[in-house]
Structure 1
Protein backbone atom coordinates (compact mmCIF):
# COMPACT_ATOMS: atom_id res chain seq x y z
CA UNK A 1 0.00 0.00 0.00
CA UNK A 2 1.38 3.38 -1.02
CA UNK A 3 0.90 6.45 1.15
CA UNK A 4 0.11 9.47 -1.04
CA UNK A 5 0.55 12.90 0.52
CA UNK A 6 -0.42 16.12 -1.24
CA UNK A 7 1.38 19.38 -0.41
CA UNK A 8 -0.68 22.40 -1.44
CA UNK A 9 -0.50 26.08 -0.59
CA UNK A 10 -1.56 29.57 -1.50
CA UNK A 11 2.07 30.62 -1.21
CA UNK A 12 5.24 29.17 -2.71
CA UNK A 13 8.92 29.37 -1.84
CA UNK A 14 11.04 27.91 0.91
CA UNK A 15 8.15 27.04 3.22
CA UNK A 16 7.13 24.24 0.89
CA UNK A 17 10.65 22.80 0.95
CA UNK A 18 10.32 22.83 4.73
CA UNK A 19 7.08 20.87 4.46
CA UNK A 20 7.94 18.00 2.16
CA UNK A 21 11.61 17.22 2.71
CA UNK A 22 11.48 16.31 6.43
CA UNK A 23 8.59 13.98 5.70
CA UNK A 24 10.52 12.32 2.87
CA UNK A 25 13.58 11.90 5.08
CA UNK A 26 11.49 10.56 7.96
CA UNK A 27 9.78 7.97 5.79
CA UNK A 28 13.15 6.86 4.42
CA UNK A 29 14.45 6.57 7.98
CA UNK A 30 11.65 4.12 8.79
CA UNK A 31 12.93 1.86 6.03
CA UNK A 32 10.25 2.88 3.55
CA UNK A 33 11.00 3.98 0.00
CA UNK A 34 9.76 7.45 -0.87
CA UNK A 35 9.60 9.76 -3.85
CA UNK A 36 8.75 13.44 -4.20
CA UNK A 37 6.88 14.40 -7.37
CA UNK A 38 7.67 18.05 -8.13
CA UNK A 39 4.65 19.32 -10.05
CA UNK A 40 5.80 22.94 -10.19
CA UNK A 41 7.62 22.67 -13.50
CA UNK A 42 8.44 26.38 -13.60
CA UNK A 43 10.09 26.92 -10.21
CA UNK A 44 11.19 23.30 -9.59
CA UNK A 45 12.13 24.27 -6.05
CA UNK A 46 12.21 20.70 -4.81
CA UNK A 47 14.05 19.38 -7.85
CA UNK A 48 16.74 22.02 -7.38
CA UNK A 49 16.99 21.13 -3.69
CA UNK A 50 17.53 17.48 -4.59
CA UNK A 51 20.28 18.54 -7.00
CA UNK A 52 22.10 20.38 -4.21
CA UNK A 53 21.70 17.33 -1.99
CA UNK A 54 23.24 15.07 -4.62
CA UNK A 55 26.10 17.50 -5.35
CA UNK A 56 26.99 17.61 -1.66
CA UNK A 57 26.85 13.82 -1.33
CA UNK A 58 24.25 13.88 1.45
CA UNK A 59 22.77 10.56 2.48
CA UNK A 60 20.16 9.21 2.37
CA UNK A 61 19.35 9.96 -1.24
CA UNK A 62 15.77 11.18 -1.55
CA UNK A 63 14.31 10.64 -4.99
CA UNK A 64 12.76 13.72 -6.56
CA UNK A 65 11.44 13.97 -10.10
CA UNK A 66 9.68 16.74 -11.99
CA UNK A 67 6.36 15.80 -13.60
CA UNK A 68 4.20 17.77 -16.02
CA UNK A 69 1.00 16.05 -14.91
CA UNK A 70 -0.38 14.40 -11.79
CA UNK A 71 -1.37 11.39 -13.89
CA UNK A 72 2.25 10.70 -14.85
CA UNK A 73 3.37 11.19 -11.24
CA UNK A 74 0.81 8.66 -10.00
CA UNK A 75 2.13 6.06 -12.42
CA UNK A 76 5.21 5.95 -10.16
CA UNK A 77 3.21 5.39 -6.97
CA UNK A 78 3.20 1.59 -6.96
CA UNK A 79 7.01 1.52 -6.92
CA UNK A 80 7.23 3.36 -3.58
CA UNK A 81 5.90 3.12 -0.06
CA UNK A 82 5.20 6.86 -0.05
CA UNK A 83 4.66 9.39 -2.82
CA UNK A 84 4.61 13.12 -2.10
CA UNK A 85 2.73 15.24 -4.63
CA UNK A 86 4.16 18.76 -4.45
CA UNK A 87 1.93 21.23 -6.24
CA UNK A 88 2.23 24.76 -7.57
CA UNK A 89 1.11 27.63 -5.33
CA UNK A 90 -2.22 29.20 -6.27
CA UNK A 91 -2.97 26.44 -8.79
CA UNK A 92 -6.63 25.77 -8.02
CA UNK A 93 -7.26 23.17 -10.72
CA UNK A 94 -4.06 21.27 -10.00
CA UNK A 95 -4.61 21.64 -6.25
CA UNK A 96 -7.97 19.89 -6.54
CA UNK A 97 -6.43 17.09 -8.61
CA UNK A 98 -3.78 16.58 -5.95
CA UNK A 99 -6.38 16.58 -3.17
CA UNK A 100 -8.46 13.94 -4.96
CA UNK A 101 -5.44 11.69 -5.52
CA UNK A 102 -3.94 12.05 -2.04
CA UNK A 103 -4.76 10.17 1.13
CA UNK A 104 -3.79 13.28 3.11
CA UNK A 105 -3.55 16.93 2.03
CA UNK A 106 -1.18 19.18 3.98
CA UNK A 107 -1.49 22.96 4.00
CA UNK A 108 1.46 24.84 5.54
CA UNK A 109 0.69 27.99 7.50
CA UNK A 110 2.34 30.58 9.70
CA UNK A 111 0.95 32.17 12.87
CA UNK A 112 -0.41 35.43 11.48
CA UNK A 113 -3.89 35.95 10.08
CA UNK A 114 -2.26 36.84 6.74
CA UNK A 115 -1.05 33.21 6.62
CA UNK A 116 -3.92 31.50 8.42
CA UNK A 117 -6.81 33.04 6.49
CA UNK A 118 -5.65 32.10 2.95
CA UNK A 119 -4.97 28.55 4.15
CA UNK A 120 -8.45 28.20 5.61
CA UNK A 121 -9.99 29.68 2.45
CA UNK A 122 -8.08 27.07 0.44
CA UNK A 123 -9.31 24.29 2.72
CA UNK A 124 -12.91 25.53 2.45
CA UNK A 125 -12.63 25.55 -1.34
CA UNK A 126 -11.50 21.92 -1.29
CA UNK A 127 -14.46 20.98 0.89
CA UNK A 128 -16.84 22.58 -1.60
CA UNK A 129 -15.28 20.38 -4.30
CA UNK A 130 -15.96 17.20 -2.32
CA UNK A 131 -12.75 16.70 -0.30
CA UNK A 132 -13.63 15.50 3.20
CA UNK A 133 -12.24 17.52 6.15
CA UNK A 134 -10.50 14.49 7.68
CA UNK A 135 -8.19 14.41 4.63
CA UNK A 136 -6.95 17.95 5.30
CA UNK A 137 -4.29 18.86 7.87
CA UNK A 138 -2.46 22.10 8.60
CA UNK A 139 1.24 22.29 9.49
CA UNK A 140 2.78 25.15 11.46
CA UNK A 141 5.86 26.86 9.98
CA UNK A 142 7.99 29.89 10.79
CA UNK A 143 6.58 30.15 14.31
CA UNK A 144 7.96 32.78 16.68
CA UNK A 145 8.40 30.63 19.77
CA UNK A 146 5.59 32.48 21.55
CA UNK A 147 3.31 29.93 23.20
CA UNK A 148 0.46 32.44 23.21
CA UNK A 149 0.73 33.14 19.47
CA UNK A 150 1.14 29.45 18.71
CA UNK A 151 -1.94 28.54 20.75
CA UNK A 152 -3.96 31.30 19.08
CA UNK A 153 -2.97 30.09 15.61
CA UNK A 154 -3.84 26.50 16.46
CA UNK A 155 -7.18 27.59 17.88
CA UNK A 156 -7.90 29.54 14.67
CA UNK A 157 -7.45 26.36 12.59
CA UNK A 158 -9.41 24.20 15.01
CA UNK A 159 -12.29 26.66 15.12
CA UNK A 160 -12.35 26.60 11.32
CA UNK A 161 -12.98 22.85 11.56
CA UNK A 162 -9.61 21.41 10.58
CA UNK A 163 -6.89 19.29 12.12
CA UNK A 164 -3.51 20.80 12.89
CA UNK A 165 -0.48 18.53 13.09
CA UNK A 166 1.69 18.16 16.18
CA UNK A 167 5.06 19.88 16.13
CA UNK A 168 6.14 23.03 14.36
CA UNK A 169 9.06 24.67 12.61
CA UNK A 170 10.23 27.90 14.18
CA UNK A 171 11.99 30.81 12.49
CA UNK A 172 15.70 29.95 12.30
CA UNK A 173 18.50 30.66 9.86
CA UNK A 174 19.75 27.14 10.54
CA UNK A 175 16.80 25.70 8.63
CA UNK A 176 17.55 27.93 5.65
CA UNK A 177 21.23 27.02 5.75
CA UNK A 178 20.37 23.32 5.80
CA UNK A 179 18.04 23.70 2.82
CA UNK A 180 20.70 25.61 0.88
CA UNK A 181 23.00 22.59 1.24
CA UNK A 182 20.33 20.12 0.16
CA UNK A 183 19.59 18.96 3.69
CA UNK A 184 16.16 18.40 5.17
CA UNK A 185 15.21 20.48 8.19
CA UNK A 186 15.63 17.36 10.30
CA UNK A 187 19.33 17.48 9.37
CA UNK A 188 20.53 20.80 10.80
CA UNK A 189 23.50 21.12 13.16
CA UNK A 190 21.15 21.63 16.10
CA UNK A 191 19.43 18.72 17.79
CA UNK A 192 16.59 20.82 19.24
CA UNK A 193 15.65 22.12 15.78
CA UNK A 194 15.87 18.64 14.29
CA UNK A 195 13.63 17.26 17.04
CA UNK A 196 10.94 19.86 16.36
CA UNK A 197 10.94 19.15 12.64
CA UNK A 198 10.98 15.39 13.26
CA UNK A 199 7.93 15.68 15.52
CA UNK A 200 6.03 17.39 12.72
CA UNK A 201 7.15 14.81 10.14
CA UNK A 202 6.18 11.97 12.48
CA UNK A 203 2.77 13.56 12.96
CA UNK A 204 2.21 13.35 9.20
CA UNK A 205 3.10 9.66 9.23
CA UNK A 206 0.86 8.97 12.22
CA UNK A 207 -2.07 10.72 10.54
CA UNK A 208 -1.51 8.75 7.34
CA UNK A 209 -1.54 5.45 9.21
CA UNK A 210 -4.68 6.47 11.11
CA UNK A 211 -6.56 7.36 7.93
CA UNK A 212 -5.59 4.17 6.15
CA UNK A 213 -6.54 2.06 9.17
CA UNK A 214 -9.98 3.65 9.08
CA UNK A 215 -10.34 2.68 5.43
CA UNK A 216 -9.42 -0.93 6.17
CA UNK A 217 -11.84 -1.05 9.09
Structure 2
Protein backbone atom coordinates (compact mmCIF):
# COMPACT_ATOMS: atom_id res chain seq x y z
CA UNK A 1 0.00 0.00 0.00
CA UNK A 2 1.45 3.35 -1.07
CA UNK A 3 1.47 6.72 0.65
CA UNK A 4 -1.20 9.34 0.06
CA UNK A 5 -0.80 13.12 0.21
CA UNK A 6 -3.79 15.42 -0.07
CA UNK A 7 -3.34 19.00 -1.28
CA UNK A 8 -6.53 20.95 -0.64
CA UNK A 9 -7.68 24.52 -0.25
CA UNK A 10 -10.68 26.64 0.63
CA UNK A 11 -10.12 28.83 -2.44
CA UNK A 12 -8.26 28.85 -5.73
CA UNK A 13 -5.01 30.53 -6.66
CA UNK A 14 -2.99 29.67 -3.55
CA UNK A 15 -0.51 27.22 -5.10
CA UNK A 16 -2.25 23.89 -4.65
CA UNK A 17 -1.39 22.42 -8.04
CA UNK A 18 2.09 23.95 -7.87
CA UNK A 19 2.81 21.92 -4.73
CA UNK A 20 1.23 18.76 -6.11
CA UNK A 21 3.33 18.88 -9.28
CA UNK A 22 6.61 19.65 -7.53
CA UNK A 23 6.07 16.99 -4.87
CA UNK A 24 5.22 14.39 -7.51
CA UNK A 25 8.22 15.34 -9.65
CA UNK A 26 10.57 15.11 -6.68
CA UNK A 27 9.45 11.61 -5.74
CA UNK A 28 9.41 10.49 -9.39
CA UNK A 29 13.00 11.67 -9.79
CA UNK A 30 13.90 9.43 -6.84
CA UNK A 31 12.47 6.42 -8.66
CA UNK A 32 9.03 6.30 -7.06
CA UNK A 33 5.96 5.35 -9.07
CA UNK A 34 3.82 8.45 -8.52
CA UNK A 35 0.41 9.59 -9.69
CA UNK A 36 -1.38 12.91 -9.29
CA UNK A 37 -5.13 12.44 -9.03
CA UNK A 38 -6.54 15.64 -10.54
CA UNK A 39 -9.92 15.99 -8.84
CA UNK A 40 -10.73 19.42 -10.26
CA UNK A 41 -12.72 18.21 -13.26
CA UNK A 42 -13.85 21.73 -14.16
CA UNK A 43 -10.32 22.93 -14.91
CA UNK A 44 -8.01 19.89 -14.84
CA UNK A 45 -4.93 22.12 -14.83
CA UNK A 46 -2.58 19.38 -13.66
CA UNK A 47 -3.68 17.13 -16.51
CA UNK A 48 -3.11 19.97 -18.99
CA UNK A 49 0.35 20.46 -17.45
CA UNK A 50 1.07 16.76 -18.05
CA UNK A 51 0.19 17.11 -21.72
CA UNK A 52 2.71 19.94 -22.08
CA UNK A 53 5.27 17.85 -20.20
CA UNK A 54 4.77 14.84 -22.48
CA UNK A 55 4.94 16.93 -25.65
CA UNK A 56 8.29 18.34 -24.49
CA UNK A 57 9.64 14.91 -23.56
CA UNK A 58 10.43 15.96 -20.00
CA UNK A 59 11.56 13.33 -17.53
CA UNK A 60 10.94 11.91 -15.02
CA UNK A 61 7.52 10.68 -15.99
CA UNK A 62 4.80 11.96 -13.67
CA UNK A 63 1.49 10.20 -14.07
CA UNK A 64 -1.58 12.45 -13.92
CA UNK A 65 -5.17 11.31 -14.28
CA UNK A 66 -8.49 13.12 -13.91
CA UNK A 67 -11.03 11.54 -11.59
CA UNK A 68 -14.63 12.57 -11.05
CA UNK A 69 -14.65 11.23 -7.50
CA UNK A 70 -12.16 10.28 -4.82
CA UNK A 71 -13.45 6.71 -4.77
CA UNK A 72 -12.45 6.31 -8.42
CA UNK A 73 -8.93 7.48 -7.60
CA UNK A 74 -8.67 5.16 -4.62
CA UNK A 75 -9.37 2.14 -6.81
CA UNK A 76 -5.96 2.57 -8.44
CA UNK A 77 -4.05 4.16 -5.54
CA UNK A 78 -2.43 0.93 -4.36
CA UNK A 79 -0.73 0.50 -7.73
CA UNK A 80 1.50 3.50 -6.92
CA UNK A 81 4.16 4.22 -4.33
CA UNK A 82 2.61 7.64 -3.83
CA UNK A 83 -0.75 9.11 -4.81
CA UNK A 84 -1.18 12.87 -4.56
CA UNK A 85 -4.74 14.18 -4.49
CA UNK A 86 -4.97 17.59 -6.18
CA UNK A 87 -8.32 18.70 -4.80
CA UNK A 88 -10.85 21.14 -6.18
CA UNK A 89 -10.21 24.82 -5.30
CA UNK A 90 -12.90 25.00 -2.62
CA UNK A 91 -13.89 23.06 0.46
CA UNK A 92 -16.37 20.30 -0.33
CA UNK A 93 -17.44 16.93 0.99
CA UNK A 94 -14.63 15.51 -1.14
CA UNK A 95 -12.13 17.63 0.83
CA UNK A 96 -13.15 15.81 4.01
CA UNK A 97 -12.88 12.46 2.23
CA UNK A 98 -9.38 13.34 0.99
CA UNK A 99 -8.36 14.34 4.52
CA UNK A 100 -9.56 11.04 5.96
CA UNK A 101 -7.59 8.83 3.56
CA UNK A 102 -4.40 10.90 3.32
CA UNK A 103 -1.26 10.27 5.34
CA UNK A 104 -0.47 13.98 5.09
CA UNK A 105 -2.73 16.91 4.28
CA UNK A 106 -1.13 20.06 2.84
CA UNK A 107 -3.05 23.34 2.87
CA UNK A 108 -1.29 26.01 0.78
CA UNK A 109 -1.96 29.63 1.59
CA UNK A 110 -0.84 33.08 0.60
CA UNK A 111 0.26 35.64 3.15
CA UNK A 112 -2.82 37.87 3.27
CA UNK A 113 -5.59 37.40 5.81
CA UNK A 114 -7.93 36.83 2.87
CA UNK A 115 -5.91 33.67 2.19
CA UNK A 116 -4.91 32.60 5.69
CA UNK A 117 -8.23 33.00 7.49
CA UNK A 118 -10.17 30.62 5.20
CA UNK A 119 -7.27 28.18 5.34
CA UNK A 120 -7.26 28.13 9.14
CA UNK A 121 -11.05 27.82 9.19
CA UNK A 122 -10.80 24.78 6.91
CA UNK A 123 -8.07 23.19 9.05
CA UNK A 124 -10.08 23.75 12.23
CA UNK A 125 -13.21 22.28 10.65
CA UNK A 126 -11.35 19.19 9.50
CA UNK A 127 -9.87 18.64 12.96
CA UNK A 128 -12.77 19.65 15.21
CA UNK A 129 -15.77 18.63 13.15
CA UNK A 130 -14.43 15.68 11.19
CA UNK A 131 -11.84 14.23 13.54
CA UNK A 132 -8.78 14.62 11.35
CA UNK A 133 -5.58 14.38 13.40
CA UNK A 134 -4.12 17.87 13.73
CA UNK A 135 -0.61 16.45 13.36
CA UNK A 136 -1.14 15.44 9.75
CA UNK A 137 -2.53 18.85 8.73
CA UNK A 138 0.14 21.33 7.65
CA UNK A 139 0.27 24.78 6.10
CA UNK A 140 2.50 25.71 3.17
CA UNK A 141 3.27 29.35 2.41
CA UNK A 142 2.97 29.96 -1.33
CA UNK A 143 2.85 32.85 -3.78
CA UNK A 144 4.47 35.19 -1.28
CA UNK A 145 5.63 38.70 -2.12
CA UNK A 146 9.02 40.14 -1.21
CA UNK A 147 8.02 41.71 2.11
CA UNK A 148 9.93 40.17 5.01
CA UNK A 149 7.55 41.86 7.45
CA UNK A 150 4.50 40.33 5.79
CA UNK A 151 6.19 36.91 5.81
CA UNK A 152 7.06 37.23 9.50
CA UNK A 153 3.49 38.26 10.36
CA UNK A 154 2.09 35.32 8.39
CA UNK A 155 4.35 32.85 10.19
CA UNK A 156 3.35 34.31 13.54
CA UNK A 157 -0.35 34.11 12.66
CA UNK A 158 -0.17 30.47 11.58
CA UNK A 159 2.10 29.42 14.44
CA UNK A 160 -0.72 30.23 16.85
CA UNK A 161 -2.75 27.35 15.44
CA UNK A 162 -2.33 23.69 16.48
CA UNK A 163 -1.22 22.76 12.97
CA UNK A 164 2.27 22.36 11.53
CA UNK A 165 3.76 25.18 9.48
CA UNK A 166 6.13 23.80 6.86
CA UNK A 167 9.61 25.24 6.54
CA UNK A 168 10.32 27.27 3.45
CA UNK A 169 8.18 29.50 1.30
CA UNK A 170 7.43 29.60 -2.39
CA UNK A 171 7.52 33.18 -3.63
CA UNK A 172 5.53 34.61 -6.51
CA UNK A 173 8.02 34.23 -9.35
CA UNK A 174 7.82 34.50 -13.12
CA UNK A 175 10.22 31.54 -13.20
CA UNK A 176 7.58 29.25 -11.70
CA UNK A 177 4.88 30.33 -14.13
CA UNK A 178 7.22 29.87 -17.08
CA UNK A 179 8.20 26.45 -15.81
CA UNK A 180 4.58 25.33 -15.63
CA UNK A 181 3.88 26.74 -19.09
CA UNK A 182 6.57 24.47 -20.52
CA UNK A 183 5.60 21.34 -18.60
CA UNK A 184 8.17 21.66 -15.83
CA UNK A 185 7.49 21.64 -12.11
CA UNK A 186 8.55 24.59 -9.96
CA UNK A 187 11.50 22.57 -8.63
CA UNK A 188 12.68 22.10 -12.23
CA UNK A 189 12.99 25.75 -13.17
CA UNK A 190 16.47 26.50 -14.59
CA UNK A 191 16.84 29.51 -12.28
CA UNK A 192 18.82 28.62 -9.17
CA UNK A 193 17.26 30.97 -6.61
CA UNK A 194 13.61 30.09 -7.25
CA UNK A 195 14.51 26.40 -7.66
CA UNK A 196 16.19 26.32 -4.24
CA UNK A 197 13.16 28.02 -2.67
CA UNK A 198 10.85 25.41 -4.16
CA UNK A 199 13.19 22.58 -3.14
CA UNK A 200 13.19 23.72 0.49
CA UNK A 201 9.40 23.73 0.74
CA UNK A 202 9.00 20.37 -1.01
CA UNK A 203 11.69 18.82 1.19
CA UNK A 204 9.73 20.03 4.19
CA UNK A 205 6.68 18.16 2.87
CA UNK A 206 8.79 15.02 2.45
CA UNK A 207 10.21 15.35 5.96
CA UNK A 208 6.75 15.83 7.44
CA UNK A 209 5.39 12.77 5.66
CA UNK A 210 8.25 10.70 7.02
CA UNK A 211 7.77 12.01 10.55
CA UNK A 212 4.04 11.21 10.44
CA UNK A 213 4.86 7.59 9.66
1:121 counterpart residue number: 121
- Output the TM-score relative to the length of structure 2: 0.95
Q: How far does residue 43 in structure 1 lie from its aligned partner after superposition?
A: 0.9
1:160 counterpart residue number: 161
2:112 counterpart residue number: 112
1:41 counterpart residue number: 41
1:82 counterpart residue number: 82
Cα distance 1:14–1:124, how it changes in 2: closer, same or farther (>3 A)? closer
2:14·2:109 contact (CA, 8 Å) conserved in 1? no
Please provide the CA RMSD for this pair.
1.3
1:24·1:62 contact (CA, 8 Å) conserved in 2? yes
1: CA distance between counterparts of 2:51 and 2:13?
17
2: CA distance between counterparts of 1:169 and 1:60?
22
2:201 counterpart residue number: 200
1:144 counterpart residue number: 145
1:13·1:45 contact (CA, 8 Å) conserved in 2? no
* Partner SS, residue 170 of structure 2: strand
Aligned length: 212
Residues 74-94 of structure 1: per-residue CA shift (max 9 Å, x gap):
122221111001111224201
Q: How far does residue 12 in structure 1 lie from its aligned partner after superposition?
A: 2.1
- Output the TM-score relative to the length of structure 1: 0.94
Structure 2 unaligned regions, length at least 5: none
2: CA distance between counterparts of 1:14 and 1:147?
19
2:99 counterpart residue number: 99
* Partner SS, residue 96 of structure 2: helix
Cα distance 1:167–1:49, how it changes in 2: closer, same or farther (>3 A)? same
Task: Tell whether 2:197 aligns with 1:209.
Answer: no
1:72 counterpart residue number: 72
